[in-house]
Amino acid sequence: MFSGAITADDDQDGFPESSARYAGGALMEYSRDDDQDGITDMFVSFAGGEPQWARVTLLPDQDGKSRSALIHWEKYPAVLRAELDSDVYIPRPGEFRFAPLMFTEMPGSEKYAGLLYPQPETREPRLTRGNLVFYSLQIQRPGAEFAGAVEWTDIDQGIPWRSTEILNGQVVSVTEYEEGIPALRRVDLDLDSRMETTRRFRKTETSSMDGLESRVTVELTESDWNGDGLYEYAEEYLPDGSVVYSWDMDGSGIRNYSETRNGNQNNESEQK
């Protein structure tokens, strides 16, 4: 049974682009460096002759940055999940199929049995982050409000519509989206199981077509600390960078005291 590596120089320039490693006649690993820059563009791990997981270089983002994604197959080519940076993409069952390799049977010899040999599937387009988002049912990533929390974002045909942040088994924030962009977030800042704080986001031009990548700006934060249905405290973030802090000082239901901070000076005002 053959153990070793088979390399291939597809463009016949004297430098191999790919390598397939075998142990006891079984295909174990396949790696490929298409542009021969010393950085592996695709690495695939096998078990029992079946691809199990792969690390592949995605097409560059709009900013030209290239990133690598980890692809886990349920049964090749059906994808179980994908990982990119700290995000996990969970596709709808059976709908995300990714087959970067096809296989041919190499003839055997008196000494060795035939081998399953992988080759790149040229008809399979390069993956993008947009592909991962589009096929996702949910995306898991670090929480936006609390360190150690996990945020689960529900996706419909590539468009996020709700995010739920969970810390130690407790829901601590829920974000609602409008046209794929975060619009409103309810937060349990004091972890008492009551969403007393509301954040509203300013709609701005974004260079990203992906709401998960958009840089949103908080426009207004309001908190109802005593649970009476009235917001006793608020922070308003103005376009010029200044922040207006306001309080309901006497329990009247009206925030009658405010301070404006612009980084250089503070302005105080009281409504009588």
pLDDT of 124-166, one tens digit each? 999 999 999 999 999 999 999 999 999 999 999 999 999 999 9
**What length does the chain have?**
272
Is residue 166 within 8 A of residue 174, CB to CB? The reply is no
Q: Does the pLDDT at position 97 exceed 90? A: yes
pLDDT for 267 = 61
Lowest mean pLDDT among 37-46, 180-189, 250-259: 250-259
205: tokens are 């031009």
Give pLDDT tens digits for 110-119: 566 678 999 9
The percentage of the chain sitting over the pLDDT mark of 90, rounded to a whole number, equals 68
* Range scoring the smallest mean pLDDT among 60-64, 65-69, 125-129, 145-149: 60-64
* Of the candidates 96, 91, 98, 92, the residue with the CA atom closest to the CA atom of residue 77: 98
Spans of all domains in the chain: 4-132, 135-270
Measured in whole angstroms, the distance separating CA 61 from the mean position of its chain's CA atoms is 13
**Average pLDDT estimate for 49-58:** 96
Sign (positive or negative) of CA dihedral 7, 119, 92, 161: positive
Would you place residue 272 in the very low, low, confident or very high pLDDT band (cuts 50, 70, 90)?
very low
Residue 110, pLDDT score: 58
Task: Identify the H or E element spanning 244.
Answer: strand 243-247
Residue 43 pLDDT more than 70?
Answer: yes
In whole numbers, what is the pLDDT of the chain averaged over residues? 90
pLDDT of residue 33: 94
pLDDT tens digits along 221-236: 999 999 999 999 999 9
Asked if pLDDT for residue 39 goes beyond 80, the answer is yes
Please give the Cα distance from 245 to 235 (Å, whole number).
Answer: 5
Helix (H, G, I), strand (E, B), or coil: what is residue 250? coil
Which range is least confidently modeled, 56-60, 105-109, 229-233, 256-260?
Answer: 105-109
How many CB atoms sit inside 10 A of residue 58's CB?
19
Report the C-alpha gap between 191 and 173 in whole angstroms.
10
- Quickly tell me which residue has 């609602």 as its tokens: 176
Percent of the chain with pLDDT over 70: 90
Whether the pLDDT of residue 264 is over 60: the answer is no
List own/partner pairs for 55-59 with CB under 8 A and 24 or more apart. Answer: 56/100, 56/127, 57/126, 58/84, 58/126, 58/127, 58/128, 58/129, 59/126, 59/127, 59/128
pTM: 0.86
Cβ-based burial of 22 (10 A; exposed 0-12, middle 13-18, buried ≥19): buried
Contact between 254 and 233 under an 8 Å Cβ cutoff? The reply is: no
Residue 42 has pLDDT above 90, yes or no: yes
- Which residue reads 């995605």 in tokens? 58
**pLDDT of residue 239 exceeding 80:** yes
Indicate the SS3 state at residue 132. Answer: helix
Instruction: Give the pLDDT confidence of 174-217 residue by residue, as tens digits.
Output: 999 998 899 999 999 999 999 999 999 987 655 344 557 666 78
